[in-house]
Amino acid sequence: MDWLSPAEWEAVRLSLRVSFWATVAALPFGLFIAYALARWRFPGKQILNGLVHLPLILPPVVTGYLLLITLSPRAPVGAFLKSIGISFAFNWTGAALAAGIMGFPLMVRAMRLSIEAVDPKLEQAAATLGASRPWVFVTVTLPMVLPGVLAGAILGFAKAMGEFGATITFVSNIPGQTQTLPSAIYAFLQVPGGEASALRLVAVAVAVAMLALLLSEWISRRVAARVGGA
């Protein structure tokens, strides 16, 4: 399509890829932590809860900087990861990591709420019918929290699409590597005559956000109708 320049297309594609992988990778962790926070009692639960929410409260630049100093190849953790072939520094996986971490609290909150809404009595009933714990989770808990999981995933994806501060601090603003949609808009606004490009990207951002919202509404309505009977 020719209404976006190749550079603009590159930013959109990169953003979608970064957000998709950020969401997919964060989903299992998010579900596990949401379940733990909703159902288990363990020492340090409040600390875990605080850690999960930290990216929501900290300035994104701080989160990005913390990632930079822990994961840069010169820091111990980053050096170790690099020795086993994982590098986040200044490439798109780093952008995905930053986006995933920033979206994580929103994801966990949505999932935790829906897990807390599941009546443990139904899980007990499943246990008396012969289902072990993992089976209870798969056959009863998970289907019932599916709307919450999807809502969490879509929220996380939307947050990842919009993530700017942590990404630019952690992995900079390299076209084709780490220049996501918001970074590209920012970059276009820094150069004379870039407003038109910026405006087109803004339109894309609005469209993607609206689509995600409509999709989540549609999915949750369908799932609610399925669970609610009739």
Partner 1 sequence: MLEVAVRHRLGAFTLDAAFEAPPGLCVLFGRSGSGKTSVINAVAGLMRPDEGRVQVGERVLGDTSQGIWLPPHKRRLGYIFQEGRLFPHLSVRQNLMYGRWFAGSLLPLDPVVEMLGLGPLLTRRPGALSGGEKQRVAIGRALLADPGLILADEPLAALDEARKREILPYFERLRDEARCPILYVSHSAAEVARLATTVVVLQDGRVVRQGTAAEVLSDPAVTPAGIRAVGAVLEVRVAAHHEDGLTELDAGGIPLYLPRVPQVVGAPLRIRIAAQEVILARERPEGLSALNILPGKVATIRAGEGPGTLVSLDTAAGRVLARVTRRSAETLGLVPGVDCFAVVKTVAIAREDVGTA
| 15 neighbors 23 (Cβ within 8 angstroms) | no
CA distance 14 to 227: 36
In 60-126, DSSP assigns E strands to: none
Instruction: Report in angstroms how near the CB of residue 218 gets to partner 1 at its nearest.
Output: 18
Instruction: Report in angstroms how near the CB of residue 133 gets to partner 1 at its nearest.
Output: 8
Decide whether 125 or 199 has the Cβ nearer to partner 1: 125
Instruction: Report in angstroms how near the CB of residue 117 gets to partner 1 at its nearest.
Output: 12
CA distance 87 to 102: 19
Instruction: Report in angstroms how near the CB of residue 148 gets to partner 1 at its nearest.
Output: 13
Decide whether 24 or 131 has the Cβ nearer to partner 1: 131
Decide whether 50 or 143 has the Cβ nearer to partner 1: 143
CA distance 216 to 117: 19
Closest CA to 96 of 25, 154, 18: 18
CA distance 207 to 217: 15
Decide whether 126 or 153 has the Cβ nearer to partner 1: 126
- The residues that touch partner 1, with contacts defined as CB under 8 A, are 121-122, 124-132, 135, 139-140, 143-144, 226-230
Instruction: Report in angstroms how near the CB of residue 207 gets to partner 1 at its nearest.
Output: 33
Decide whether 210 or 224 has the Cβ nearer to partner 1: 224
Instruction: Report in angstroms how near the CB of residue 37 gets to partner 1 at its nearest.
Output: 23
Decide whether 13 or 133 has the Cβ nearer to partner 1: 133
Contacts 24+ apart (CB under 8 A), 209-216: 209/158, 209/161, 209/162, 212/154, 212/157, 212/158, 212/161, 213/154, 213/158, 215/154, 216/150, 216/151, 216/154, 216/155
CA distance 84 to 87: 9
